[in-house]
Amino acid sequence: MTRILANDGVTAGCKVALENAGFEVSLENVPQGKLNEELKNFDVILVRSATQVRKETIDACPNLKLIGRGGVGMDNIDVEYAKEKGIEVINTPAASSASVGELVFAHLFGMARFLPDSNRTMPLEGETRFKELKKKFSKGVELRGKTLGIIGIGRIGQATAKIALGVGMKVIATDPYIDDITIDVEINGQANLVDIKTIEFNELLKQSDYITIHVPGGDKPVIGKKQFDMMKDGVGVVNCARGGVINEVNLVKAIEAGKVAYAGLDVFENEPKPAMQVLMNDKISLTPHIGAATHEAQDRIGMELADKIIAFFGN
């Protein structure tokens, strides 16, 4: 029997589907330091972002046939090395796109109306300084009519663009691999097709009122001091992609200088211990890496993993 270790957990639906197909599924969470030894007893490992599957683990487990990542990014897996060893590597790139796009807009709406700062302040001072707080938080703006710049117009970028267009924003995008894209915006059951032609990266920085990033992590930030300097004064920036694609030191300095009015971060350079200067900044909206963490997305991720595993083994 093919044995599967779901080290970071899977949905109940995924587990049932796999067991009905004849697989044995363990939900035991094996600590990273013991993974190489324990994984020798399994044919498949399923992970999210917590567990690392590196070269040494792959070498220690010659029985391993498949590595599955519940989610999009696979920077916690040595993908190419695994493939060289004949191990199948799968992920679920489409399952969480809508959820991440909605979180981007949770941050955008919150920032535009000062909700993070207001929610921090009201419980402490709402009773004694209500009129002062009303004045302080009465300078919000509407998103409608503003320009949203999307860096990376893949699946998540497109899901974000759909919401932006529905809100009435102008959408521009930059992507080294996509020249143009047609977005299907469904309104009251009717399909509305909107063509978006990608532009140069620097032009997007100059034209955008808000910027959201949807690219995989790399060796260096996508946005640092040079890029902040190119942006409009008072820009809003959201990162629900990967920690490190924005230089957080430069971000805080840009906020202090008034270049960036506010920012939204779901991911951080130093997870799971984000920098204190980021956590304490009242102009940064914060969430703890929950972009894909909705019931609907998790269900889709689980079933997509199950379908791909069953197809791979031919069960």
Question: Prior bond to 221 cis, omega within 30?
Answer: no
What is the number of residues in the chain? 315
- 48 counts as catalytic: no
- 271 counts as catalytic: yes
172, 199 in Cβ contact below 8 A? yes
Q: Is 9 exposed, middle or buried (0-12, 13-18, 19+ CB in 10 A)?
A: middle
Conformational region of residue 313, where left means phi above 0, alpha means psi within -120 to 50, and beta covers everything else:
alpha
- Amino acid identity, position 221: P
Question: The dihedral of CA 257, 258, 262, 267: what is its sign?
Answer: negative
Q: Is 311 exposed, middle or buried (0-12, 13-18, 19+ CB in 10 A)?
A: exposed
227, 205 in Cβ contact below 8 A? yes
HEC secondary structure over 98-109: HHHHHHHHHHHH
CA distance 99 to 93: 12
- Amino acid identity, position 34: K
287, 267 in Cβ contact below 8 A? no
Instruction: Name the catalytic one among 107, 242, 248, 269.
Output: 242
- Amino acid identity, position 302: G
Instruction: Name the catalytic one among 3, 54, 129, 289.
Output: 289
Sequence-separated (6 or more) residues with CB below 8 Å from residue 57: 35, 36, 39
- 295 counts as catalytic: no
Active site members: 242, 271, 289
